[in-house]
């Protein structure tokens, strides 16, 4: 694959902590913009992981996500490898994937979710934490994406409920409704859902420990991960 400045940027090192989500965004955006053309072959796994400076496990998860979303295909055999799909999703679209209105929703979500997390770490009681844990378990084995998303919405509203702030619950409910419109635009690969729910599980543990600082950092990472996935798959 011949490289120019744009492709060099695609294959430059990915920044932690959202390496998985940013890798999905980086490759998905390159496919959508035509920097990685339909039918083109990605570099070998070892080489690509080295260029992005991520583990091969993280790379495999990102590639699996893009295969499940229809952006990539895997071919076996001597001439096999990972290739850009001949007709990747939304390849004909030239619209800006995240416009001003979408960005406003994402910014509002940051303010509401991180604020709720701070208060939840201070105020959450055993019943609220138990409800959050039950929702995590429900998302671990969903029957379909709709069941996962319903539990996901209830989880984030549950964080606001654990903050013991009725106004935050109202605000969280509203922003989750707006987020659903954005999330409805993308595919929902199992790898992304599993990764997201692992963060949910860690968050409950931090709330239980009253560790507000680390809980907020994790929530911010969780939200930023969603933004990367939206950027890559929309």
Could you give the CA distance from residue 205 to residue 209 in angstroms, rounded to a whole number? 6
* pLDDT: which is higher, 48 or 92: 48
Domain end, chosen from 84, 117, 147, is at 84
Q: Are strands 72-75 and 81-84 parallel, antiparallel or unpaired?
A: antiparallel
Q: Report the number of distinct structural domains present in the chain.
A: 2
Q: String of b and e for 143-152 (b: at least 16 CB within 10 Å)?
A: eeeeebbebb
Mean pLDDT for 190-219 is 96
Q: What is the pLDDT of residue 92?
A: 47
Confidence grade of residue 231 (pLDDT, cut at 50, 70, 90): confident
Q: Please tell me the predicted confidence (pLDDT) of residue 4.
A: 64
Pair (54, 123) in one structural domain: no
* Residue 79 placed within a domain: yes
| Cβ 104 vs Cβ 221: under 8 Å | no
Residue 117 and residue 48 share a domain: no
Does one domain contain both 147 and 227?
A: yes
Q: How confident is the model at residue 1 (pLDDT cuts 50, 70, 90)?
A: low
216-230 pLDDT, tens digit each: 999 999 999 988 888
Average of per-residue pLDDT across 196-224: 97
Whole-number pLDDT of residue 95: 46
Model confidence pLDDT, tens digit, residues 87-133: 887 544 444 555 788 889 999 999 999 999 999 999 999 999 999 99
Burial class (CB in 10 A: 0-12, 13-18, 19+), 232: buried
3-class SS of residue 73: strand
Confidence at residue 214, expressed as pLDDT on a 0 to 100 scale: 98
Percent of the chain surpassing pLDDT 90: 58
Q: Tell me, yes or no, whether 144 and 203 share the same domain.
A: yes
On the question of pLDDT at 2 being above 60, the answer is no
**Would you place residue 30 in the very low, low, confident or very high pLDDT band (cuts 50, 70, 90)?**
confident
| Integer Cα distance of 33 and 21 in angstroms | 18
With bands split at pLDDT 50, 70 and 90, how would you rate the model's confidence at 185?
confident
Residue 187: pLDDT over 80: no
Residue 44's domain spans which residues? 5-84
- 141 and 181 in a single domain? The answer is yes
Q: Residue 84 gets which letter from DSSP?
A: E
- For the chain, the maximum distance between any two Cα atoms, rounded to a whole number of angstroms, is 60
Angle at 127 between CA 125 and CA 129, to 5 degrees: 70
Does residue 175 register a pLDDT over 50?
A: yes
Task: Measure the CA angle with vertex 180, ends 35 and 32; round to 5°.
Answer: 5
Do residues 36 and 84 touch, judged by C-beta distance below 8 A? yes
Q: Which of 33, 57, 84 is the last residue of a domain?
A: 84
Contact indicator for 178, 105 with CB cutoff of 8 Å: yes
Given a contact cutoff of 8 angstroms between Cβ atoms, the answer to whether 187 and 70 are in contact is yes
β-bridge mates for residue 83, sequence order:
41, 73
Cross-strand pairs, 115? none
Looking at the fold, whether 105 and 187 belong to one and the same domain comes out as yes
Q: pTM of the prediction?
A: 0.73
């Amino acid at each position: 694959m011949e490289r120019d400045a744009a492709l060099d940027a695609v294959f430059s090192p990915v920044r932690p902590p959202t390496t998985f989500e940013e890798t999905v965004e980086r490759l998905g955006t390159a496919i959508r913009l035509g920097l990685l053309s339909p039918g083109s072959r990605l570099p070998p796994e070892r080489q690509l992981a080295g260029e992005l400076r991520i583990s091969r496990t993280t790379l495999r998860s990102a590639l699996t996500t893009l295969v499940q979303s229809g952006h990539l295909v895997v071919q076996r055999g001597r001439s096999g490898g990972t290739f850009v799909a001949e007709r990747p999703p939304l390849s004909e679209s030239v619209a800006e994937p995240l416009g001003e209105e979408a960005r406003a929703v994402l910014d509002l979500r940051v303010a509401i979710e991180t604020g709720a997390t701070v208060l939840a770490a201070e105020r959450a009681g055993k019943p609220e934490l138990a409800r959050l844990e039950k929702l995590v378990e429900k998302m671990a084995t969903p029957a379909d994406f709709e069941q996962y998303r319903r539990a996901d919405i209830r989880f984030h509203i549950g964080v606001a409920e654990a903050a013991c702030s009725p106004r935050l619950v109202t605000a969280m409910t509203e922003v989750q409704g707006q987020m659903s419109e954005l999330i409805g635009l993308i595919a929902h690969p199992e790898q992304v859902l599993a990764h997201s729910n692992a963060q949910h599980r860690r968050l409950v543990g931090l709330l239980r420990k009253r560790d507000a600082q680390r809980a907020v950092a994790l929530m911010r990472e969780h939200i930023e991960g969603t933004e990367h996935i939206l950027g890559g798959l929309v």
